[in-house]
Amino acid sequence: MTRQPAVARRAEQLLGAAVVSTSPVAGGDISTATKIRLSDGSLVLMKALSPPRDDFVAAEARGLRRLEESGAVKVPEVLAAEPDCLVLRWIEPGRPTAETAEELGRALARLHSTPVSGFGADQDGFIGRLPMPNKPADTWAEFYAVRRLLPYLKAARDRGAIDAAGAESVEQVVGKLTSLIPEEPPALLHGDLWNGNVLWDRSSEAWLIDPATYAGHREVDLAMLALFGLPHLERMMASYEEETPLAEGWEDRQGLHQLFPLLVHAAMFGGGYGARAATVAARYL
């Protein structure tokens, strides 16, 4: 058994329990993750940030608690949230099954049925390591344009990750959003629901992690899962639609709602994400 002294001391301060062992957890480019075994045999995950980021930690903890309050989906319990770290109950990873993917579909349908008012949120958040504006707007088309597409299009252009022609295609799509996306009541979203933020436990049940919650169009969460390849996606979507059917033509609109994560990835990582966003945007012109 290993024991990282600084990590152990901080966990003991926050949790009031002795640490038996610690081990690093791979993955993540924002925080340093450590699996910690406590003297009572329980396991926790500490995500440490250096330098401390109170706004970042608070946003993640707030999102997890909001999802938990919905009663619709499973999320790790927040044990401590301080500027330098977030401590969560450990979820032992496993593998999904088609049946538990179906249950995830029903759970997401319940999450998206959680009563919320207006598009946006009371506080801004983060998507990955980028700031995410959440100032409310009256319609989804307005919110999606000015809070999701245009800010990350600018960030991608500033990075040189999308060329002028590609940016123009996205801007033209922004001008057409009111006719391309049917209005729906706002839904409570996870907000950053790519495959890596769905954690399957040893019983194959799905837990949602690393949220960026706000009230938005429910197709955004579903489009992001499709973009990054959730296992058993078709089974999940079928059970979702049994619970709460989507508006006609949702398959054709997936690309519209994938523009947001594609532009975020272009702004953060560059690569081919900007060109991919431009290609997607061109379908709707």
Please provide residue 189's backbone torsions phi and psi, each rounded to the nearest 5 degrees. Answer: -110, 150
What SS3 state is found at 266? Answer: helix
Active site residues: 192
Distance, in Å, from the CA atom of 212 to the CA atom of 224, rounded to the nearest integer, reads 13
Residues with Cβ within 8 Å of residue 258, at least 6 apart in sequence = 223, 224, 226, 227, 280
User: Residue 277 burial by CB count (10 A; 0-12/13-18/19+): exposed, middle or buried?
Assistant: buried
Q: What span, in angstroms and rounded, lies between the C-alpha atoms of 209 and 151? A: 24
| 1 within 8 A of 7, measured Cβ to Cβ | no
In contact, 194 and 115? CB cutoff 8 Å? no
CA dist 201 and 96 (Å) reads 8
Diameter over CA atoms, the chain = 60
Q: What sign for the dihedral angle of Cα 115, 118, 121, 122?
A: negative
